[in-house]
Structure 1
Amino acid sequence: MDDGGGWPKGLRVGVGLAAGAFLLAVGFGAFAVTHGWPAWLTITTSAVVFSGSAQFALVTALAGGGGLGPALTSAALMNLRFVPMAAATARFLPGGPLQRAAQGQAVVDGSWVAAQRPGGGLDRQLMFGATLVQWPAWILGTALGALVVPGGAALEATGLDVIFPGFFGLLLFDSLRASPRLAPAGLLAAAIAATCRFLPSGIALTLAAAAATFALRQPARIKEPQP
């Protein structure tokens, strides 16, 4: 039996995460349409991809004239973080490969961080509940941004342009508070982020991803869940 918060706590946590995801999605919807994407494609991308960082990277790279190849590479680099996250989660997901792959769709940043147990392990039901609330909020927010927000000036006027870095900043703060050993990686990532604005997106993302290697030097010991 799970000793974590389960579905009820996951749904409660998901409401707070969904509020941030909704505002972030409004920013993405407006950003994509402002850079030439049709509204239907913008909304479909959010429904299928459901990854703000990858979606912003894709639009940014295409808008910068980098072509489809560099744009897809940038988006893929952003989503590489899900590989170690999914690997750490797999042991807590029951069933065969297909069942675990389906459950793995719930591994998104906010839900995954919230589902970490203080003593090690992961509350998978909490993660499922939190993600279940966020997905429709992400789609609805994208639709609102794509269909209603008129352009880039509105993004700056409403502060939607700073929600994306603020959202990930809060996740980083929570991670460092729970695992101080990640501080070197966090500090390096912050230093890289300060210079990334002057670099092409593909190079910037590659350098930023390199900061994660510091977190691999001292692997965390994760306790297996008790039956």
Structure 2
Amino acid sequence: MKKVLLIPAFLFALALMMVSFGDTSYAAAKEGSFKTKILDIQVEIPYEKSSVNLERESTSDSETIKVYDKETGKLLKESTVEKANKKAMSLQGDVTTQGTSLYTVSESRVDNGLTSTLNAVLELYDSGSFRQINAVDNMYWTTSSGNHDLVNKQASDVATDGSYPTTEVQISGAATIEVEIDQGASAGFEAAGFSVSASTSTTYTARKNIEEGFTYSTYNRD
């Protein structure tokens, strides 16, 4: 199991409580959450089922669910599961473990048109009706839909059963968005929660601290 950054347990627990999806806090939304299946993995949707619409996009080895607010049509959350073409390797690294595959799971958010994604690579064991998550092999942030950078990137994982292997894992991460803008765009970025400061006489830098967190499991525990 790899960790991008080790943080004290009490700080990690606090971070999980404060992670936000759109305008709804993770802790508050979790009370009305529900689970849905993406490929071979259950993902927790932290909203009341009656308040959102789900849109699915699928290929042979990946599936994405977009969660929209039913009243406003706003995109609240985007979850993707992609199965790797190769099997996971054993701890010795010289043979393929039968029934074990790698899955990349990711959650994306959009801030003023800038997309930031927290990714995790799960090692999943599958034998008949039995499934478990053996380990989280990697966690990392990526960007798209914009010319922004992510700095101060952090990510951590917790097996909700207490240790690996587990049937449920929570991934949490934080980062800071940085993007260079001109003065005319500063008002829009400030309205979206960014702080804006002058870089030169003609350019400005917009920054925003973001957090993301999600739960994936091999079974629907609800």
- Please give the TM-score of this superposition, normalised by the length of structure 2: 0.28
Higher share of residues assigned strand: 2
Structure with greater contact order relative to length (CA < 8 Å, sep ≥ 6): 1
Higher share of residues assigned helix: 1
